[in-house]
Amino acid sequence: MARVLSAPSTQMGRVAPRTPQSRGSAEGFDIYRNPDEEKVPCADPACANAGASGAADQNVSSFDERRFRHALGRFATGVVVISAGSGDGMHAMTANAFMSGSLRPPLIVVSVGHRARMHERLMNSAMFGVSVLSDAQERHSRHFSGEPQSRFAPRFAPVEGLPEVVLLEHAAARFAARVVDRHPCGDHTLFVGEVLVFSLDEHAPLIFFGGRYASMATPL
């Protein structure tokens, strides 16, 4: 069972309004097709006819990774700092690919790219921590995403009974988890952790949307 470090908040918040930005036509949208789709056999005679004619759908273009990332950025997320180890051996990184996996048992999931230093750490770690950043911790996000902040010393707190993990102070929520599974996912790995300890605070969360940081309005 996960141990609760503080009482949960019952307050809800709303996202501060943003000026809408429109891209593209109201009549339709561009389609970016994954080139791997062309490797899948098609039994429909229409497929052969289309190939013989050499005609291409004018609305379909080659898969564009940059546009794909931009499309994914339209999904607003929170921001977390993943931590592994403690003391001089502690390593941390910013991420927004974080989700709940299960309530029974209590599981969380983080997605980490193969080229990230954190990937190797989590492949060889039994524990990891996740700190959900508050709207006052944008500097923490930048610091742990490769933009070191001058005269800035993030403070991590130890977790009683779990010396292998530390968590950021003053975060909106914090989780200490034991790695129970690892799943390959393309150029990333999904790390599944069983939550052993968690805490939450009244701080509004930091939001990431469209490549920019945002904050929540006053809680309702």
Predicted TM-score (pTM) of the model is: 0.73
Q: What is the pLDDT of residue 76?
A: 94
20/79 Cα distance (integer angstroms): 22
* pLDDT 10s digits, 123-147: 999 999 999 999 999 999 999 998 8
* % of the chain with per-residue pLDDT over 90: 63
With 80 as the cut, is the pLDDT of residue 60 above it? Answer: no
Q: What integer pLDDT is reported at residue 185 of this predicted model?
A: 98
Q: How many CB atoms lie within 10 A of CB 67?
A: 12
**Residue 62 confidence (pLDDT):** 79
Query: pLDDT tens-digit profile of 44-57?
Result: 555 445 444 444 44
Model confidence over 85-111: pLDDT tens digits? 998 899 999 999 999 999 999 999 999
pLDDT value for 213: 94
- Domain 77-215 CATH superfamily: Electron Transport, Fmn-binding Protein; Chain A (2.30.110.10)
Residues in the chain: 220
**Beta-strand relationship, 188-200 and 3-4:** parallel
Please indicate whether residue 19 or residue 41 has the higher confidence score (pLDDT).
41
Domain ranges of the chain: 31-71, 77-215
**Tell me: the pLDDT tens digits for 189-198?**
999 999 999 9
Residue 25 clears pLDDT 90, i.e. is over it:
no
Alpha carbons 5 and 30: distance in angstroms, whole number: 48
DSSP assignment, residue 52? H
How high is the pLDDT of residue 88?
87
Averaged pLDDT, 204-218: 87
The alpha carbon dihedral of 167, 173, 179, 181 has a sign of: negative
pLDDT tens sequence across 36-47: 555 545 555 554
pLDDT of 18 strictly over 50: no
Measure Cα distances from 126 to 50, 66, 162, 181 in Å: 52, 34, 11, 10
CA distances to 2, 54, 109, 187, 204 from 106, in Å: 7, 53, 10, 26, 23
